Amino acid sequence: MIISLPTYANEIGSRELSPIKPLPSGEDSEVLKPSILDLAQQRNLAKELLRDWKSGAPEALARLGHHPRPAKVDERGPRLADAQTVIAREHGLYRWASFKKFLEAQRLIRTAAVRGENIALDADVRTLHITCGLGLQKLFAAAGFVGDYLALTLPHQDCPVPAGASLDELVELDHASFAQVASADGMQDWRERDRSRIAALKTARHYERVCLWFSNSPDESTMLAFLLDYFAEPANRPSRLDMVTVRGFPGIQRFVNLRQFDVPQIRQVFSWMRPVELPHIHLAKQVWKAVSDPSPLSLHEMVEEGMPLIWPWDMAFRHHLLHLPALDDGLSLVERLVLKLLAEEGEMSESRLGDRMLEAYCPLPCYWAAWFYAWPRLAALNPSAVSVSNQKTHHQNSLSKNKILSITDTGLDLLAGRKAIWELNPIERWVGGVRIDYARDHWCWDRYADRPVLRRAKIRFR
């Protein structure tokens, strides 16, 4: 399912390709929306921060904690350069000089976009852009890219990835797993689309350059490790392999994924692309082997040692491990957050649940699969922890029909620790290569020891 970006742009027409406006994503929260920063504005904010420091304003003094040497600033007194350093670090950059350089580059790119001067950045060689998840082809086409585009949807956190599984087997395993918690309507069409995406991936080796675009979520990190392991084989690798792993962007309070970007921002991210080198491949092969292992211990060991070569990975794969059932009650991190959200904010639609999870509840931004699989598992418990009612919708794809979700008494009992998952006939699930069969001995996450442990099954299902 490869999309030619120039052909796609011609088909939808210029009116649909806004040069500046961010694309609608359902994420309308202020913490998710990008804001446009300029150098003069940030200079003024630094001056205001310095004045507030000197006047002893408590909120300003608290921000001094972002400075690399706050004790030294206290000793000699704050300067404008200190305020500028704090402003830069609050936007994810270490130095004011780096922040200034970023803002100037963004200004030039944005000016060119307003003038319609989006020179094709990928026109030098035949290029394939690969992303995690659907819906970015419009943004890429609007940004003037002229290569091809491929969106993959697996593997992800909830996709079974037993060691040695082929690409085609991963599709079947994922859909067999999803069928346990989803309606059969539309499943065959979804499976065929995934099959076509995997078939398209097998053609990537024919491109002169493949660009991998990923963020720091557990799902996207899992897919990136899989792709780097796949491209490690000489028979699969294109002439040139580049990647970018985005963990934040100045002006976006809470970065989730590439769908938050507008045209100038996605063009600037392209400038961050770097060649994939042998150390990246070596690390990815180790990580993917650990992810697909039936035991989580090797992945936990890698997380504890750290993976600075691809910076977000140690954090992302720690959250991958938190997807294991908790030793005390059997809830995964995301399942616990779903119940907590419904308990605190009341019933809501499925799409609203996803938005709120991204806005505030997940400590690390998660891809849709994490909560999309979590609430159906909770609803499938006996008795159910989440009540589901249908809402009228105009969506044609039945897998996207919206539903109204609310927490039940069982869900409240789970959240309070009065019940445990394995008392409620839970369905089997996977975390990478780790199979979670609650009726047998299975791996859990000990929240107090902060490590995976093997739980001996004591309760046999009725």
pLDDT band at residue 239, thresholds of 50, 70 and 90? very high
In CATH, what number does 333-455 get? 1.10.10.10
Q: How far is CA 7 from CA 141, 202, 207, 259, 458, in A?
A: 9, 22, 18, 21, 59
Query: Would the pLDDT of 209 be above 80?
Result: yes
Give the three-state DSSP class for 228: helix
Q: What is the pTM of this model?
A: 0.85
What pLDDT score was predicted for residue 9?
85
Q: What is the mean pLDDT of residues 220-247?
A: 95
- The string of pLDDT tens digits covering residues 247-280 is 888 888 788 888 888 888 999 999 999 999 999 9
Name the least confident of 67-81, 127-141, 381-395, 419-433.
Answer: 381-395
- Cβ neighbours around 280 below 10 Å, total: 18
Q: Structural domain boundaries of the chain?
A: 39-90, 333-455
Three-class secondary structure of residue 286 per DSSP: helix
- Residue 267 contacts residue 121 (beta carbons within 8 Å): yes
Look over the chain and give the mean of its residue pLDDT values, rounded to a whole number.
86
pLDDT at 251: 85
pLDDT in tens, 111-125: 877 777 778 899 999
State in Å, rounded, how far the first CA of the chain is from the last one.
45
pLDDT tens-digit map of 289-337: 999 999 999 999 999 999 989 977 998 999 999 999 999 999 999 999 9
Task: Work out the pLDDT band at 1, boundaries 50, 70, 90.
Answer: confident
Tokens linked to 191: 């499976």
Q: Are 243 and 276 in contact (CB under 8 A)?
A: yes
Phi/psi for 308 (5° steps) reads -65, -20
Q: Does position 401 have pLDDT exceeding 60, yes or no? A: no
pLDDT of residue 26: 43
Mean pLDDT of 442-457: 95
Report helix, strand or coil for 106: helix
Strand partners, 212: 130, 243
What per-residue confidence (pLDDT) applies to 221? 92
**Cβ atoms < 10 Å from Cβ of 80:** 13
Q: Are the C-beta atoms of residues 261 and 269 closer than 8 Å to each other?
A: yes
The reported pLDDT for the residue numbered 34 is 66
What's at 60, amino acid-wise? A
pLDDT digits (tens, 9 = 90+) for 20-45: 454 444 445 555 566 778 899 999 99
Helices (H), 153-186: 167-178
| Three-class DSSP category at 399 | helix
- The confidence band for 133, taking pLDDT boundaries of 50, 70 and 90, is confident
